[in-house]
Amino acid sequence: MHSRSTLQAPLRLPNLSGGTVAAWATLTSLLAISGLLSNCQSGLGACSAQAQTPILSPIRAVVNSNLDGEIKADEVLTLREAIALTNGILNSGDLSPAEQAQVTPSSDHSQIDFDLSGDTTIRLLSLLPTITNAGLVIDGTSQAGYDSSSETPVPIVALTPVQTNEVFRGLTIAADQVQVRGLSLYGFTSKHKITATTPPADIFIAHRLLPAKRLQEDSPEVAYPHEDERELPPQGVVIEGNWLGIPPQATNTPSPRSAFGVSIYNGIQTRILNNRIENHDGSAVISSVQAEQTEITDNIIENNGLAGMPDAIRLEGKIDGTLIQNNQITNNAGSGIYLFKPEGAIMAKDNQIVGNGQRLQRAAVFLMGNDHHVMGNTIQDQSGPGVVVTAYPQSDRNIIQDNRFANLDGLSIDLIARHNRFLERFSRLSINRVNLAARSSTGIQDYQVGDGPNPLRNSDQRQRDSANRGINTPIFLSSEFYLIDGTVNLDGKADPGAEIMLYKVLEPGAIQGPLSEPLTSVTADKAGRFAITLTDAQPGDQLSAIATHPDFGTSEPSRNVEIQTLPGS
């Protein structure tokens, strides 16, 4: 028996609330009830939950058949058999001589390669065994004909359910350093039942065993009768170069559509690289309990959230150190990036977040929590604001800089103010084509699409009530500034010590932004005064600015000012 201090902390599901997340809450809570994941559904019968993972010699198994079904000694090696071999729950001695010829020793890690002839789509009859062999590589690029030199390589090997069968997950990963590359996975979902399945996904990442019953936070002791029941989440899983939610032909949307792309229920340092993730009913990437140090880089994430969770990337739980970089996040049903009560901070950098909010009016990027960085992104064509930062439960020190915004239905940056009773004076003010209706308090819709411009902070209480501690928007000392000998001097005030970033506004008729093009930055002095000199401004130029303070975060955009020529010059 181990002391409490040596055990993994008991699993606690995220505190979900609200109709928009009810379906996910139902699914994730059932994971804790279900206990054992499907790591024994391999056609070999039930496995013992108490069995310890054996030390396995690395092998290379070559899948040479697209068939699926019961594991048996025959003339071909199937993917189900290859996974069972690498998991150590099928012995090579149980194979036929023809199958044994497809299995050879490997130098440092086990690998599953493919040598399929004719039809290269593997149609699954049931869930594959959960992958429990650390370091396993499932390599779709090994299939003859795969063109790795192409700018966008097309998978040849595909996994999908048999049309008459419901298979709600493609691959389930519960081991460290597993790599999946060069595959197409699509059609993995589940129908609504009185008793729901565990979460469906093309690829699902979690540790193997969950507690048989939820343990309360105030429980005085934790009893794990078996070593396996305290396994840590898998670390270092790599999902690279796959097509998720779409077949290799990509000529039409598969039916049924997959529910989710990559579901990180519980995993650390997961890397999702260079994938196409499209056409899911729910999110392309979703997390739940733990997804710290996740990297989501260089992916094409399109047309997701078609009939369920609408947001392209939806993160909750422990997500500290997550990097979302250089992705094309386009034409998804809700937000491009949506954070729900996270623990820890993310960096979203250099992404193209374009044309989202196709089904629901949402912010392009929705932040909740502290210390997030949104830097250098292109955010445009959104049926909502650019970046919304909530005030609840607490959202401070969120830095939003060097981004380019265009064609938004709302502010470029919108900081939610709880109990916002100051909006009435803005009720008839048109901001980027959105008329803000007067309302006496902040509601659910405000948390999705923003609540419009905040008034100046006039008390410490407003710091508590507003996102980023109610940092003041820069105020220019005039709405018009004049060119004199080709130079214009801009003066204004902001919070002392704040960095003021000046933007050019390229859309006519706007009042606050959009922040189209960053120009230059200065720092406000101890009295909160700042001055900016431009030598390349032109008459008619529209400018706006934001303020960023390390103790507060980034402000909403200022009201626009215009550059004019001096009368009579």
287 pLDDT band (50/70/90 cuts)?
very high
Alpha-helical regions (H) of 89-209: 97-100
Q: What is the pLDDT of residues 187-239, one digit of tens each?
A: 999 886 555 557 899 999 998 764 433 334 444 444 444 444 446 899 999 99
Alpha-helical regions (H) of 47-198: 79-87, 97-100
Mean pLDDT of 67-77: 94
Q: pLDDT at residue 344 above 50?
A: yes
74-78, 95-99, 391-395: least confident range: 391-395
Please tell me the distance from the alpha carbon of residue 519 to that of residue 539, in angstroms, as a whole number: 16
Q: What are phi and psi of 309, to 5 degrees?
A: -55, 115
Please tell me the distance from the alpha carbon of residue 260 to that of residue 162, in angstroms, as a whole number: 18
487 pLDDT band (50/70/90 cuts)?
very high
Average pLDDT along the chain: 82
Beta strands 276-278 and 300-302 are parallel
Please tell me the distance from the alpha carbon of residue 372 to that of residue 450, in angstroms, as a whole number: 18
Percent of the chain clearing pLDDT 70 (strictly above)? 77
Our measurement of the distance from residue 87's CA atom to the centroid of its chain's CA atoms, rounded to an integer in Å, reads: 30
Question: What pTM value is reported for the model?
Answer: 0.84
Give the pLDDT of residue 448. 64
Give the pLDDT of residue 231. 66
Q: What are phi and psi of 88, to 5 degrees?
A: 85, 15
Contact indicator for 417, 447 with CB cutoff of 8 Å: no
Residues of the chain with CATH 2.60.40.10: 475-565
Q: What are phi and psi of 445, to 5 degrees?
A: -60, -35
DSSP H or E run through 137: strand 137-139
Give the pLDDT of residue 567. 78
On the 0-12 / 13-18 / 19+ scale of CB atoms within 10 A, 417 is buried
Give the pLDDT of residue 366. 96
26 pLDDT band (50/70/90 cuts)?
very low
Note the CATH architecture for domain 475-565.
Sandwich (2.60)
DSSP class of 263: E
Per mean pLDDT, which of 49-63, 111-125, 142-156, 209-223 is the most reliable?
A: 111-125
Residue predicted with more confidence, 84 or 569:
84
Query: Which of 537, 533, 559 has the alpha carbon at shortest distance from 546?
Result: 559
For 115, the token pair is 């040598």
Give the pLDDT of residue 38. 40
Q: What is the pLDDT of residues 154-177, one digit of tens each?
A: 999 999 999 889 999 999 999 999
Contact indicator for 511, 429 with CB cutoff of 8 Å: yes
